[in-house]
Amino acid sequence: MANHKSALKRIRSNDVKRLRNKYQHKTTRNAVRKLRALTEKKEAEALFPKVAGMLDKLAKTNVIHKNKAANLKSKLAKHVAAL
C-alpha cells in the first residue's frame, strides 16, 4: 500500500485516466466498425470526419500511436472513396 499522500492521489488519478482512455478507445473502435459496415456513400462521407477526429484525439493523447491513427484514417478514406 502507498505510504505518501501524493502516491494515493496518483493512484486515484491514474484510475480515472485509465477508465477515460478505455472508454474513448472503445467508442472509437466501435465507430470505425460502424463506418466499415456502411454501404451508402452519403452516410459514410458524413461519418468519416467524426471518426477521423476521434482517431486524431486518441493519437494526440497517446492512447494510440500516431502512425496507427494515420493508417486507420487512410484505410477508412480508401473505403469511403470506393463506395
Q: What pLDDT, in 10s, does the model give residues 22-56? A: 999 999 999 999 999 999 999 999 999 999 999 99
> The C-alpha cell of 55 is what?
482517431
Percent of the chain with pLDDT over 70: 100
Q: What pLDDT, in 10s, does the model give residues 56-83? A: 999 999 999 999 999 999 999 999 999 9
* pLDDT band at residue 2 using 50, 70 and 90 as cut-offs: confident
Please tell me the distance from the alpha carbon of residue 22 to that of residue 30, in angstroms, as a whole number: 12
Would you state the pLDDT for residue 76? Answer: 97
* Mean of all residue pLDDT scores within the chain: 96
**Domain positions in the chain:** 49-83
> The C-alpha cell of 13 is what?
488519478
